[in-house]
C-alpha cells in the first residue's frame, strides 16, 4: 500500500520486488562455468579405521562428528537459521580443511550470516577445487575485507585481476575506483567507467561514485557537471546534487533545487534534505572510501534481488555492511531477504539496526510490525505501527503501514479513517490508488455510497485502471445497478488484463445480471480456468449453468465450492442451492446510467 505514496531512492526500489527463498540455496555458477567434480559421501565422511587423533580418540569418531556438524549445518539452512548454519559448517570445514566442498559451503554460510572476516579467511582461491563462481565471489570478499582494514593497494590488486563476467564483474568494477582512491591511485579512481554488458542500471552507480570521487579529489567543476548529469537522467540521485550545493555553501541554490523537485513529486529523501537546508543544519558529509564502496554495492545487490538472484544479492549486501555498518538501505534489504528465507530472528535484527534519524526508519518499523502480524501478534503489530506514527507524525509511509495492518485485521472502518488522513496529507494531488484503496475499505465496511464515490474519483484520475474498473463494475453489477455501464467498464478492464480471472469473473457476473446467461457461461468457464480454486468464481459458474438448464453441471460446481474452504455465508448459500436449486430468473434491471461517472468510451483499447 505504501508504494503509492512516494518515490523512493533508487537504492531501495528493488525491495518491492519479489525475493526468492534463500534456505539452502548455493550461489549459482555462470552458465559457461564447468561443473566441479562431485564429491562422494565416502570422500567427505570416511568411516574406515584410521590412526588415532592427537587427543587419543579414534578417527572414526571424528568422522561421525564431522558428519553430524555437516547435517546440522544443512538442517539450520533448511530452517532459515543462517548464523547457526555458518557455525556448524565452519566447524565441519575446520575438521576437514582439505575438503573443498566443505570449505566452499562454510564460506557461503559465513557470508550469508554476515561474518565477512571469517568468510574472507575461508574464501577458496584459484586451483583449490571450488566452483568458479564461488572463487570469484571469494576474490571480491577478500578485496572488501582488505578495503575495510584500509589496505587499499591489496584490494585494488584483487579487483584488477582477470576480468569476471556479471554479476561478479559488475561488483568488481564498482568497487575498484574506491579501492584505487584508498591506494592513492587517482588516475584509476577518476577514470571514466568502462562500458559493460549490464550497464542499464549499474552504470548510474558508477557515474554517481565518480562524481563523489571527483568532489573528494577537489575537482569541483567536473564534480558539479557529473552531479548535474545524474539529475538530468530521469532524476536519479537528484538529492546528491543538492547535497553538493550545500557542501559548497550555496544554500539558496540548494533550497531552490529541492523545492523545484518537490513541486513535481513527493520524495522522503528530498523532503528531508529540504527541511535540513531550511533549518540551517550542516550539509551531509562526503563518504569515506569505505562508505563510498559500500554504497556502490547497493546497486548490483538490489538489481540481483529484483532478478531473483537473491543469494548473490544478499552476499553483496553483507559485504556492503562490512564496509559501512550504518548503511540503512542495506539493513532493510537484508531484513527482507532473511525474512524471505525464513530467518525471522536475523530479519528482525537487521530491521532494528535502522535508527529513528534515518529516512529508512519508517520502512524498517513497518517491516517489524508485519513480522509480528505474520506470527499472529496483531495487537503487538498495531501497537508498533501506532508508536511509529507518534515518532514520525508527518510520515505518509507510517500511516500507510498502519492502514495496511488494520486492513489485514479486517478493521475496515478504522482503515478508512487512516486512509482519509493519508489523502489529506497528500494534498494537493493524492494519487488515484489512494481513492481506490479507500473505496475498497468503505465497501468492506458496508458503506457503499462512500465506496462508490471513492472508486469514481479513482477512475477520474486514472480511467484505464483495470483494478478500479473491475471493483466499481462488479460492485454495480452485484447490486443490480447501472448494468449496461458496468458491463462496458468490465469489458474494458478485461481488454486491458485478459488473463485476470477475477476480472473475467466480474464480466461474466455482469452478463448474468443482465440476463445474458449463455455469454455469462462462456465468460465464467474461462474465469474458472484462470482461477480454478476460487469459491466465488465456481459458485457464479454454477448459477450460470442452472440458468441455461445444465443442472447436473451446476450441482457439480456448487459441490466443488464446498471443497474450496468457502466462508460461512457462502457455505450456507451453497447448501440451500443444493437442496432447492435457484428460484425463477428475475427480470433484468439496472440499465440506468450513473450520474457520477460518464459511460466509458467505446474506442479501441490498446
DSSP string, 555-582: HHHHHHHHTS---HHHHHHHHHHHHH-P
Whether the CA torsion 366, 371, 376, 381 is positive or negative: it is negative
**pTM for the predicted model, two decimal places:** 0.75
Domain-located, residue 506: yes
DSSP summary character for residue 474: H
Cα–Cα dist 422/443, whole Å = 18
Number of Cβ within a 10 Å radius of residue 446: 10
Cα–Cα dist 298/321, whole Å = 10
Cα–Cα dist 395/385, whole Å = 12
Return all residues near 274 (Cβ < 8 A) that are at least 6 apart: 255, 258, 259, 262
Cell of 417: 479513517
Domain-located, residue 553: yes
- Whose grid coordinates read 577458496? 124
Coil/strand/helix, residue 493:
helix
Cα–Cα dist 495/493, whole Å = 5
Cell of 34: 564447468
Coil/strand/helix, residue 45:
coil
DSSP summary character for residue 319: H
Domain-located, residue 320: no
Nearest C-alpha neighbor of 127 from the set 115, 119, 135: 135
Domain-located, residue 599: yes
Task: State residue 42's pLDDT score.
Answer: 38
Domain-located, residue 121: no
- Radius of gyration (C-alpha) of the chain in whole angstroms: 29
Cα–Cα dist 324/429, whole Å = 38
pLDDT digits (tens, 9 = 90+) for 358-396: 989 999 999 999 999 999 999 999 999 999 999 999 889
Cα–Cα dist 101/88, whole Å = 14
**What own/partner pairs with CB < 8 Å and gap ≥ 24 does 221-230 have?**
230/204
Give CA angle at 233 (202, 215), nearest 5°: 75
pLDDT digits (tens, 9 = 90+) for 269-307: 888 899 999 999 999 999 999 999 999 999 889 888 888
Cell of 266: 513527493
Positions in the chain short of pLDDT 70: 1-64, 77-80, 100, 129-130, 194-201, 233-236, 597-606
Domain-located, residue 495: yes
Report whether 256 contacts 233 (CB < 8 A).
no
- Exposure of 385 by Cβ count < 10 A (0-12 exposed, 13-18 middle, 19+ buried)? buried
Give CA torsion, residues 309, 314, 317, 323, to 10 deg. Answer: -130
Cα–Cα dist 508/514, whole Å = 10
Return all residues near 365 (Cβ < 8 A) that are at least 6 apart: 351, 354, 384, 385, 387, 388, 398, 401
Cell of 401: 503501514
Cα–Cα dist 166/250, whole Å = 40
* Domains of the chain: total: 1
Report whether 198 contacts 166 (CB < 8 A).
yes
Cα–Cα dist 437/455, whole Å = 9
What CATH number should be reported for the domain holding residue 531? 1.25.40.10
Cα–Cα dist 64/93, whole Å = 14
Domain-located, residue 279: no
Domain-located, residue 209: no
Report whether 254 contacts 241 (CB < 8 A).
no
Cα–Cα dist 477/508, whole Å = 10
Report whether 387 contacts 393 (CB < 8 A).
no
Cell of 293: 564502496
DSSP summary character for residue 39: P
Number of Cβ within a 10 Å radius of residue 47: 12
The boundaries of the domain holding residue 530 are 464-606
Cα–Cα dist 493/531, whole Å = 17
Cα–Cα dist 431/134, whole Å = 46
Amino acid at each position: 500500500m505504501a508504494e503509492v505514496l512516494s518515490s523512493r531512492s533508487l537504492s531501495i526500489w528493488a525491495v518491492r520486488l519479489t525475493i526468492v527463498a534463500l534456505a539452502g540455496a548455493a550461489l549459482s555458477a555462470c552458465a559457461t562455468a564447468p561443473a566441479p567434480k562431485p564429491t562422494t559421501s565416502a570422500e567427505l565422511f570416511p568411516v574406515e579405521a584410521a590412526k588415532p587423533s592427537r587427543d587419543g580418540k579414534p578417527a572414526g569418531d571424528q568422522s561421525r562428528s564431522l558428519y553430524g556438524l555437516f547435517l546440522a549445518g544443512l538442517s539450520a539452512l533448511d530452517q532459515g537459521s543462517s548464523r547457526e548454519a555458518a557455525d556448524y559448517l565452519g566447524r565441519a570445514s575446520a575438521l576437514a580443511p582439505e575438503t573443498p566442498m566443505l570449505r566452499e559451503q562454510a564460506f557461503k554460510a559465513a557470508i550469508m550470516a554476515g561474518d565477512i572476516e571469517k568468510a574472507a579467511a575461508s574464501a577458496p582461491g584459484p586451483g583449490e577445487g571450488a566452483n568458479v563462481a564461488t572463487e570469484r565471489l571469494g576474490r571480491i570478499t577478500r578485496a572488501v575485507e582488505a578495503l575495510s582494514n584500509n589496505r587499499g593497494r591489496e584490494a585494488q590488486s584483487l579487483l584488477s585481476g582477470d576480468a569476471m563476467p556479471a554479476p561478479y564483474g559488475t561488483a568488481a568494477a564498482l568497487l575498484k575506483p574506491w579501492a584505487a582512491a584508498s591506494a592513492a591511485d587517482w588516475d584509476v579512481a577518476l577514470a571514466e567507467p568502462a562500458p559493460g554488458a549490464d550497464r542499464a542500471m549499474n552504470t548510474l552507480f558508477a557515474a554517481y561514485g565518480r562524481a563523489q570521487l571527483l568532489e573528494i579529489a577537489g575537482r569541483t567543476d567536473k564534480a558539479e557537471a557529473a552531479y548535474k548529469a545524474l539529475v538530468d537522467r530521469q532524476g536519479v540521485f537528484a538529492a546528491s546534487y543538492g547535497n553538493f550545493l550545500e557542501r559548497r555553501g550555496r544554500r539558496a541554490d540548494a533550497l531552490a533545487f529541492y523545492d523545484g523537485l518537490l513541486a513535481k513529486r513527493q520524495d522522503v529523501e528530498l523532503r528531508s534534505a529540504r527541511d535540513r537546508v531550511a533549518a540551517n543544519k550542516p550539509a551531509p558529509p562526503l563518504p569515506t572510501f569505505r562508505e563510498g564502496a559500500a554504497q556502490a554495492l547497493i546497486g548490483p545487490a538490489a538489481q540481483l534481488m529484483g532478478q531473483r538472484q537473491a543469494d548473490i544479492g544478499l552476499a553483496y549486501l553483507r559485504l556492503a555492511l562490512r564496509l559501512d555498518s550504518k548503511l540503512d538501505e542495506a539493513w532493510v534489504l537484508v531484513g527482507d531477504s532473511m525474512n524471505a528465507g525464513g530467518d525471522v530472528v536475523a530479519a528482525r535484527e537487521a530491521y532494528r539496526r535502522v535508527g529513528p534519524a534515518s529516512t529508512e526508519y519508517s520502512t524498517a518499523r513497518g517491516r517489524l510490525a508485519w513480522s509480528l502480524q505474520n506470527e499472529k501478534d496483531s495487537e503487538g503489530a498495531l501497537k508498533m505501527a501506532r508508536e511509529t506514527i507518534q515518532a514520525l507524525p508527518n510520515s505518509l509511509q507510517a500511516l500507510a503501514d498502519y492502514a495496511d495492518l488494520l486492513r489485514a485485521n479486517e478493521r475496515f472502518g478504522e482503515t478508512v479513517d487512516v486512509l482519509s488522513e493519508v489523502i489529506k496529507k497528500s494534498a494537493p494531488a493524492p494519487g488515484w490508488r489512494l481513492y481506490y484503496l479507500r473505496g475498497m475499505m468503505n465497501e468492506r465496511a458496508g458503506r457503499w455510497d462512500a465506496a462508490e464515490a471513492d472508486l469514481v474519483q479513482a477512475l477520474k484520475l486514472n480511467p484505464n485502471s483495470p483494478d478500479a474498473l473491475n471493483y466499481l463494475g462488479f460492485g454495480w453489477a452485484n447490486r443490480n445497478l447501472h448494468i449496461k455501464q458496468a458491463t462496458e467498464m468490465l469489458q474494458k478492464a478485461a481488454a486491458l488484463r485478459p488473463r485476470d480471472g477475477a476480472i473475467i469473473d466480474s464480466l461474466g457476473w455482469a452478463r448474468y445480471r443482465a440476463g445474458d446467461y449463455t455469454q455469462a457461461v462462456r465468460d465464467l468457464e474461462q474465469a474458472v480456468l484462470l482461477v480454478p480454486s476460487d469459491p466465488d468464481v465456481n459458485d457464479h459458474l454454477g448459477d450460470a449453468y442452472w440458468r441455461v438448464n445444465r443442472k447436473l453441471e451446476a450441482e457439480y460446481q456448487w459441490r466443488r465450492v464446498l471443497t474450496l474452504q468457502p466462508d460461512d455465508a457462502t457455505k450456507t448459500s451453497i447448501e440451500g442451492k443444493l437442496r432447492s436449486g435457484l428460484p425463477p430468473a428475475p427480470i433484468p434491471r439496472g440499465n440506468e446510467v450513473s450520474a457520477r461517472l460518464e459511460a466509458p468510451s467505446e474506442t479501441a483499447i490498446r
